[in-house]
Amino acid sequence: MRNSLNTRWRRWINRRIPRADSQILSQKNIFILPTAAGVVYGLLLLIMLITGINYQNSLIYLLTFLLGALFVGAMHQTHRNLSGLSVALVRPGEGRAGDDVPFLLRVTAGKDAGLGLVLSVEDSSVEGVHVSLGESRDVVLPVPSAYRGYLRPDRIRIETRFPFGLLKAWSWLRPASSGVAFPRPLPAPDTAGTVHDGSEAASSAPVSGQDNADLRPWREGDMSQRVMWKRFARTGQMIVADWQGEQGSPHWLDFHAFPGVDTELRLSYLAWMVADRVQKNARFGLSLPGDTIEPDSGSLHGERCLRALAVWGEQPPRDPDGQPFGTRQAENGKAGVSA
């Protein structure tokens, strides 16, 4: 029962607040309720009114009415704090799975200042954001991530309790773009981590020379361009050529280097190796089933590899809601993926 109510409530909210990377807060999508302190305040006013009635004390009446009116005024003020504010996801962040991934948000004031704002997602929050009239402010919000892959918080909550903390007004930004959580690096057991594939000795000796390639049997995930189809026609065996010997002998970091290891663990190993290679400023390539990154070096290359590891096998999150006119196009982790 509670669950179904919750679901309906969520659905209703989602209808009211479509996914978009920027949102202007207005009466339509601002919610306002008294806080616990506000409820106690109401009870206190009731007690004071009874005191005033019982002691026939005009000044207590006056005080009660004044405080009551201040509460209503505060309601207006708290609402105005959010109303007209525009919140935009400027850059979704990238980071390690399990850590907080920083998302860059921009809060721009409308016709009123937005004071005492709290941006939060799940249990991480940024407090004390103040945007004065006609200004905008960039806020880095750490978004907790549990798993590697696309990271798109369902809702980023923007709340204010200013001025008195007796009322809270809040709204949500439901971002359309997603950040990326890299696999958590774990030191790989095998120092080489290259194509050494256990018993398979076919490619044990790295071949140096322009025309030589590492030949090995086809495995799931190998790209069809690399299959030596002529040989297949001849022998019926799918042999794949790894052209790793093209320039010097860069190390290939290969998904298949860890036989029998769980996929996520493999990705973690690879992430560690990528970071390791970048630190040593080594040249390396990354070979994932369905995705290969040509050898290169430098931190940009490393990031590209990490992104590829992060989103491997993942679908970019989609939402049935259309994006309204004027929405920023998502700039997600696709940049590093070469098809």
Q: Pairing between strand 214-217 and 239-242?
A: antiparallel
Taking CB under 8 A as the criterion, the residue among 39, 247, 324, 334 binding another protein is: 324
State which residue, 86 or 244, has the beta carbon closest to another protein. 86
Nearest distance in Å: CB 7, another protein: 27
CB 203 within 8 A of CB 214: yes
Helices and strands per DSSP (H, E), number in the chain: 6, 17
Please report, in angstroms and rounded to a whole number, the separation of the first and last CA atoms in the chain: 46
CB 110 within 8 A of CB 24: yes
Nearest distance in Å: CB 222, another protein: 28
The residues in 103-142 that bind another protein, with binding defined as CB under 8 A, are 106, 108, 110-111, 115-116, 128, 130, 134, 136
Size of the residue set binding another protein (CB under 8 A): 76
CB 304 within 8 A of CB 333: no
The reply to whether 207 sits near another protein by the rule CB under 8 A is no
Residue 113, φ and ψ in degrees, nearest 5: -70, 150
The residues in 249-308 that bind another protein, with binding defined as CB under 8 A, are 271, 275, 278-279, 299-300, 302-303, 306
Nearest distance in Å: CB 136, another protein: 6
Taking CB under 8 A as the criterion, the residue among 77, 145, 178, 292 binding another protein is: 77
Contacts of 319 (CB under 8 A, 6+ apart): 19, 176
State which residue, 91 or 231, has the beta carbon closest to another protein. 91
Taking CB under 8 A as the criterion, the residue among 39, 72, 146, 223 binding another protein is: 72
The residues in 23-42 that bind another protein, with binding defined as CB under 8 A, are 26-27, 37, 40-41
The reply to whether 192 sits near another protein by the rule CB under 8 A is no
The residues in 148-187 that bind another protein, with binding defined as CB under 8 A, are 161-166, 182, 185
Cα separation, 116 vs 113, whole angstroms: 10
CB 318 within 8 A of CB 19: no
Cβ atoms within 10 Å of 57's Cβ, excluding its own? 14
State which residue, 58 or 224, has the beta carbon closest to another protein. 58
State which residue, 111 or 334, has the beta carbon closest to another protein. 111
The single residue listed with the structure tokens 């998502």 is 330
State which residue, 64 or 177, has the beta carbon closest to another protein. 64
State which residue, 70 or 207, has the beta carbon closest to another protein. 70
CB 332 within 8 A of CB 21: no
The reply to whether 51 sits near another protein by the rule CB under 8 A is yes
Cα separation, 293 vs 285, whole angstroms: 6
Nearest distance in Å: CB 69, another protein: 4
The residues in 136-155 that bind another protein, with binding defined as CB under 8 A, are 136
Calculated CA dihedral for residues 7, 13, 14, 20, nearest 10 degrees: -150
